[in-house]
Structure 1
């Protein structure tokens, strides 16, 4: 069973998101997703300032097993990337909910969060 913080919302594509104190949506991948990918080797970040829609393919992660696309859980503008991952992509494996966050979005509409899964709903989906 994967670790699932209750304060996060989850996408069916295995991203998590929460709104930080500055009003930005912080995005990462779940513990389940990082376990499935295996040891991460490199990160291809989205372009800062890029306007994305919920569900858009925005970046990729490459592991020893495969490459995986990462999707935007909310619509908005990419305003920050986790630069630490350029030199240490393994932070995603080690700290998927803390130091391994991927990027931040200035959301156009935070009501899109309501369309995402709770921790219980996400757990039910990955257990199915």
Structure 2
């Protein structure tokens, strides 16, 4: 069964967004996404300081099955990235909502639009199966 924490927001591209202090968010891929990908073997991430508009690809995740782009769900500047994924990409499989996070972004717009609640995301992935 797919885990969907209530405290997070989601995108239809299967990223999650955690609101942090100071107008920042943390971004990763959902449990559903990592299950679809299979064993993750490589993660490409942006540099700290890179800027993105909501909906732009910011990196990619390579698994034994495929390579998929990851999209930024918000507009802003990358303030941190999870460098542990360089040596341990499997953290995204083992703990997608914790140790497997991808990047942190300082928001340009403090109220990002278009994100799904846990309930809405759950309904969305159910309709995809």
Shorter-chain TM-score range = over 0.9
Aligned-pair Cα RMSD in Å: 0.9
Runs of 4+ in 1 over 4 A off after TM superposition: none
Tell me the CA shift for residue 100 of structure 1: 0.3
Q: Aligned equivalents of 1:33 and 1:118: distance in 2?
A: 16
- What is the aligned partner in structure 2 of residue 104 from structure 1? 104
| Normalised TM-score (structure 1) | 0.96
Give the gaps of 5 or more residues in structure 1: none
Query: 1:51-66, aligned counterparts within 5 Å?
Result: 51-66=51-66
1:115 counterpart SS class:
coil
| Equivalent residues, number | 127
Q: Shift of residue 124 of structure 1?
A: 0.4
Q: Which aligned pairs between 1:66-77 and structure 2 lie closer than 5 A?
A: 66-77=66-77
* Cα offset, 1:22, TM superposition: 3.7
Counterpart in the other structure of 1:2: 2
Deviation at 1:115, TM superposition (A): 1.8
Q: 8 Å contact 2:39–2:93 — kept in the other structure?
A: yes
